[in-house]
Structure 1
């Protein structure tokens, strides 16, 4: 995952897929990750979104791992 690229939820994937990933994925222990994924489109890059969230280092690493999982699953995609 390129943190310097813009990301958004994949418009071809229903929102319930994100909720499903939240329930079944071990990376989604906090609803904050789901909210964060939904808010990605409001920032120029994923890194900007992370910076705006002012996460502690441990939380930031957890969110990055979760975003990598979402990108690999096609739930978030780069915004052209």
Structure 2
């Protein structure tokens, strides 16, 4: 699935986030995959997705200079199934 920032997204219901000093660990109980989220801004965006009307709204809290990198990481989480559209 292609990532569209205009759409609303949420963390997949079978994915757990565990906060770490470097960011967070995301574990999918469905696929048994583990993903490292090594950026605190990315962790904040993933946590805000469920309450935001769109991914772009959740990304608005990220500093403009970092936004493209966080958006690419979020798109990768959508591709791998850790994050899904609502």
TM-score category, normalised to shorter length: 0.7 to 0.9
Gaps of 5+ in 2: 19-24, 28-33
Q: Which gives a bigger RCO, structure 1 or 2 (Cα 8 Å, sep 6+)?
A: 1
> Please, what is the CA RMSD of the aligned residues?
1.9
TM-score (norm 1): 0.76
* Mapped partners of 2:80, 2:69: distance in 1: 17
TM-score (norm 2): 0.71
Q: Return the structure number with greater strand share.
A: 2
Equivalent pairs, count: 72
Gaps of 5+ in 1: 23-27
